[in-house]
Structure 1
């Protein structure tokens, strides 16, 4: 299932079955309680669950993404290691093109860093135009988790969805489940004053001081837990697999 652990004959056989998953993340701060590589860890986790469901090989993950604006990170903190949009697009395009040349006709990109998205869409356009018959699907966990599920979770925890973004309650819970040894739950409430940060629906460079949070939690991770993370993970895995099966025409018998 893991491309990096296959011999070339094994890879040749699997590639010509036509289905692969490419996990993509980023290296950037996620508050004081989550690791810099949280996005990549999340993508790797869901890639494994999806591969088991749809019988696909997993390509080595790309752990570097496009820099996220400071507003979405809650401010400017050490730990951003990013590449330019042009470099990122070229890298992913060349990887996806190589897979298509080896016989992969259905590629799922599991992405967990929002600012990668437009560049991934450009990759998909380039690859599908150059390789007729190839399908590229880009899936992000927060898009498939479901509105009803998120609304119910917000009601249950008392954490409004408007307060629950980058390194917030849901993402923190998810990482606490998928990579528990990398988290610092005792630091979750350090950003309680961050709820008062000024909010706006546009980007300003540099970020105004009154819009920054104390430690990069946007805007609260209060009530986060591994138990909630299990529920989020199961919901996302279920909905992600259903979406991929729908778009790629995979039935249970054909997985």
Structure 2
């Protein structure tokens, strides 16, 4: 259940709070800027009843500097994101027993990991889980397009979907670090959205939720 929907007397101290972490950044010519936020929120919403947790409002901006050359992108950078996550963790753990950050954007990884390490060093029960499947393409391709066709089909401009750079991410990273995503993909897509369907998206979401649940259940969360 969403925390934002409740008046404060209904909030019972203790328990777990899930915090979706997203971004506002380009996702090709066919997807909205808040794809990562939508996905992180969906994973948190599905994860909540499995864990008995509440879901906090999503953080809609993150570290998206690699997309900054595309209009619409809003990035606060790694240091600011880490500071934000630390302060959220400190605030939430004054009344929640555990906080789990559900990260939907790969560019947030460094900041989230640093923040979780800081919070754990302070003795707070804080963890994070990714929204991922092992076969996902990097950005705005089949994976994210299918997820959005499942979660918000009315917001997908499928007629504008076009293949981007489909080379493995490890081959693209050196040029991306120097010039951002624009240096390797003119349309901002890393992958191929061709063939994306809502059915594929529904399956991927289920796999993401189960993977996150397993990580929490066995304690296999990265710090």
TM band (smaller chain): 0.7 to 0.9
Aligned to 1:239: 211
Q: Alpha-carbon deviation of 1:119?
A: 0.8
Aligned to 1:61: 58
- Are the structure 2 counterparts of residues 31 and 205 from structure 1 closer, same or farther at C-alpha, using a change threshold of 3 Å? same
Q: How does 1:171-190 map to 2 (within 5 A)?
A: 171-188=144-161, 190=162
Name the SS of the counterpart of 1:166 in structure 2. coil
Q: Which of 30, 33, 39 matches 1:33?
A: 30
- Are the structure 2 counterparts of residues 87 and 32 from structure 1 closer, same or farther at C-alpha, using a change threshold of 3 Å? same
- Are the structure 2 counterparts of residues 196 and 51 from structure 1 closer, same or farther at C-alpha, using a change threshold of 3 Å? closer
Q: Alpha-carbon deviation of 1:59?
A: 0.9
Q: Which of 141, 151, 166 matches 1:168?
A: 141
Name the SS of the counterpart of 2:219 in structure 1. helix
Name the SS of the counterpart of 1:233 in structure 2. helix
With 1-10 and 23-32 compared, the bigger mean Cα shift is at: 1-10
- Are the structure 2 counterparts of residues 213 and 244 from structure 1 closer, same or farther at C-alpha, using a change threshold of 3 Å? same
Q: Alpha-carbon deviation of 1:207?
A: 4.9
Aligned to 1:3: 3
Give 1 or 2 for the bigger CA radius of gyration: 1
- Are the structure 2 counterparts of residues 129 and 30 from structure 1 closer, same or farther at C-alpha, using a change threshold of 3 Å? same
What is the TM-score when the length of structure 1 is the normalising length? 0.78
Partner Cα separation in structure 1 for residue 46 and residue 104 of structure 2: 15
1:95 paired to 2:95: no
1:33-53 CA-to-partner distances (Å, cap 9, x unmatched) read: 111000000011011000011
Name the SS of the counterpart of 1:120 in structure 2. helix
Q: Which of 72, 76, 80 matches 2:73?
A: 80
Aligned to 1:111: 103
Q: Alpha-carbon deviation of 1:191?
A: 3.1
- Are the structure 2 counterparts of residues 89 and 197 from structure 1 closer, same or farther at C-alpha, using a change threshold of 3 Å? closer
1:5-28 CA-to-partner distances (Å, cap 9, x unmatched) read: 2222212x1x32x21100010000
Partner Cα separation in structure 1 for residue 114 and residue 167 of structure 2: 37
Task: Specify every segment of 5 or more residues in structure 1 that has no aligned partner in the other structure, as ranges.
Answer: 151-160, 249-255
Name the SS of the counterpart of 1:101 in structure 2. coil
- Are the structure 2 counterparts of residues 100 and 204 from structure 1 closer, same or farther at C-alpha, using a change threshold of 3 Å? closer
What is the TM-score when the length of structure 2 is the normalising length? 0.88
Q: Alpha-carbon deviation of 1:197?
A: 11
Task: Specify every segment of 5 or more residues in structure 2 that has no aligned partner in the other structure, as ranges.
Answer: none
Name the SS of the counterpart of 1:214 in structure 2. coil
Partner Cα separation in structure 2 for residue 216 and residue 115 of structure 1: 15
Name the SS of the counterpart of 1:218 in structure 2. coil
1:61-104 CA-to-partner distances (Å, cap 9, x unmatched) read: 1001012424xxxx9321111113222222111111011112x2
Partner Cα separation in structure 2 for residue 185 and residue 226 of structure 1: 12
